[in-house]
Amino acid sequence: MKKENKQKSNNKFSIKNSITSKMVAFVVSIMALSLGFSTAVSFILNSSGSLNILNVVLSETVETAAVALEKDLKATSNLIGEIGMIKDLSDENLSQAEKQAILDERKKLYGFKSLFMTDANGTVTTNGYSLAGEQFYQTAMRGEIYIDTPRVTIDGSDVDMVVGAPIWKDGVYGSEVVGTIFGVFYGDYVSNMISDIRVGQTGHTFVVNNVGTRIGDEDYSIVARQNDFELAGDSKVGKLLMEAEQKAINGELAYALVQDEGIYNVVVLAPVGGTDGWAIGIEIATREFIESNRTATKAGVAVAALCVLIGSLAVIFIVRRLLKPIGEIEMVVAEITKGNFDVDINSTSTDEIGRMADSLNVMKDANHKIVADTVRCLEEMAKGNFAVQPQVEYVGLYKKLDEAIRHINASMGKTLEQIEASAEQVRQEAEQVAMVLKC
């Protein structure tokens, strides 16, 4: 019996544990899915927001950089123009050596690689070399300042940047052009102008001319040697960059999202005013800004996991408290199935479980009364008292038991009356027989 009770007890706890595990699994699943979904949505929205902010920041930065570069180029233009207005350079009484000495002084002062002048026919005054066919000479002879893009030297060994200006007669601007002056800067001249423009740790600033050639870059080895349009080819990424550069060259602010060795970079370009189609661009890896979102997401996942753990413990605690009265109800029902009605469910709860316990107590008491009354009736009938009647209300299916007891009493009572009547008749006949025999 103890073994059987123990087995039933184990079944009881297995049921409870099963309910607990199911409820915990359900709640944890809901919590995990909700937190996971919210974390994913948050990451996507934050990443999108970060990229938008990045685009805004880069746009403002690149536009500011374009203005700064334009000012630097304007300063260069003014510099070479001022040299062209040095009165002594147009003085016919000074020798070419004296004029070159003036230029050498300016060369040293302003960091030129070389600084020369030509006469009105385009002949270099120091070596007689003719530059009449060069664009910078022709531009300068029209009274305009010329700034070329950095170009690879003829022998391919270096990169130079040529600037030119008119030499005005008597140093008076707008007077007669009596020659030209041209200076050569080192190829990193534009690169140095943008070297201080840094965005983040992976930010990279560059300048392209109107045909897509890099004329300014922190990587000096590609200056005047790399053409982004030619590199684009059939590459989707290359075409995206080329389209953005072309848009900036045409005077518009441009964006591109390109992939370089598995890393996505945002590129923002702006036109450089005062040039013949230069564009300045800033390229930065998106991971630098998204990394903060990933860190926040990892923290969010950790918090979500902690919430799931705490929620699981809370669910286990609540479920066990809910199942405690159910366990008591189960034990009482088990006792009732054994015929023991002297047990009660102690429940002070007013919720559904409490009302169920109260209903079970009422049912138990009603069954107890009916069974006890039935036993009493049967005991009285066993003693020959067929006049006994049920003293409690039999409800539901038990009404048939009430009817059966009353029917048995009536039938047995009628049968006994018949037996008594027959016995009385036999007695009377026996007395008559006895009187006859005496006579």
143-181 pLDDT tens trace: 999 999 999 988 888 999 999 999 999 999 999 999 999
Same domain, 31 and 167: no
Task: Please report whether residue 327 resides in a domain.
Answer: no
| Same-domain status, 62 and 99 | no
More confident residue, 416 or 111: 111
Q: How far apart are CA 439 and CA 429, in angstroms?
A: 16
How crowded is residue 145: how many other Cβ atoms within 10 Å of its Cβ? 20
What residues have CB less than 8 Å from 369, skipping those under 6 apart? 392
Both 200 and 285 in one domain: the answer is: yes
pLDDT at 118 over 90: yes
157: in domain: yes
Q: Given its phi and psi angles, is residue 438 left (phi above 0), alpha (psi -120 to 50 degrees) or beta?
A: alpha
Average pLDDT over residues 298-317: 74
In a domain, 229, yes or no: yes
336 falls within a domain:
no
Residue among 396, 321, 389, 388 nearest 362 (CA): 396
- Domain for residue 177, yes or no? yes
Nearest to 207 by CA among 238, 243, 235, 249: 249
Assess whether 183 and 203 both reside in one domain.
no
SS3 342: coil
Q: Are residues 94 and 176 in the same domain?
A: yes
- The string of DSSP codes covering 192-209 is HHTTT---TTT-EEEEE-
CA 184/CA 153 separation, integer angstroms = 11
Confidence category of residue 209, pLDDT binned at 50, 70, 90: very high
- Report pLDDT digits (tens) over 363-385: 878 888 888 888 888 887 787 77
Nearest CA among 105, 58, 52, 60 for reference residue 83: 105
Identify the pLDDT of residue 50. 58
CB 258 within 8 A of CB 285: no
pLDDT at residue 355 is higher than 70: yes
Same domain, 179 and 238: no
- DSSP bridge pairs for 183: 115, 163
The residue from 165, 187, 209 where one domain ends is 187
CA dihedral 62, 68, 70, 76 (to 10 degrees): -150
User: How many folded domains does the chain comprise?
Assistant: 3
Domain boundary, last residue among 130, 156, 187: 187
Q: How far apart are CA 203 and CA 244, in angstroms?
A: 18
Query: Containing domain of residue 295, as a range?
Result: 26-73+193-312
Residue 386, exposed/middle/buried by CB under 10 A (0-12, 13-18, 19+)?
middle
Residue 125 forms part of a structural domain:
yes
C-alpha pair distances (Å), 197 with each of 4, 53, 238, 259: 84, 19, 24, 22
Q: Which two tokens stand for residue 336?
A: 């009732």
Residue 153 lies in a domain: yes
User: Whole-structure pTM over 0.75, yes or no?
Assistant: no
> What DSSP letter does each residue of 58-95 carry, written as one string?
HHHHHHHHHHHHHHHHHHHHHHHHHHHT-GGGG-TTS-
Are residues 231 and 121 part of one domain? no
Same domain, 300 and 202: yes
Q: What is the DSSP letter of 275?
A: S
When the pLDDT of each residue in the chain is averaged and rounded to a whole number, the result is 82
Residues 174 and 203 in one domain: no
What are the backbone angles phi and psi of residue 363, rounded to the nearest 5°?
-60, -45
| Same domain? 261 vs 278 | yes
Residue at which a domain ends, from 154, 187, 220: 187
Q: Across the chain, which distance is largest between two alpha carbons, in Å?
A: 204
What is the C-alpha radius of gyration for the chain, rounded to an integer number of angstroms?
Answer: 54
Q: Confidence band (pLDDT; 50, 70, 90) for 273?
A: very high
From residue 381, give the alpha-carbon distance in Å to each of 108, 168, 409.
139, 147, 8
User: Does 301 lie in the same domain as 208?
Assistant: yes
Closest CA to 79 of 139, 145, 135: 145
Q: Tell me what pLDDT residue 259 has.
A: 77
Q: What is the pLDDT of residue 387?
A: 76
Domain presence at residue 329: no
Residues 219 and 150 in one domain: no
CB 86 within 8 A of CB 102: yes
Model confidence at 49, pLDDT cuts 50, 70, 90, reads low
What CATH code is carried by the domain that includes residue 122?
3.30.450.20
Q: Can you tell me the distance from the alpha carbon of 390 to that of 405, in angstroms, rounded to the nearest whole number?
A: 8
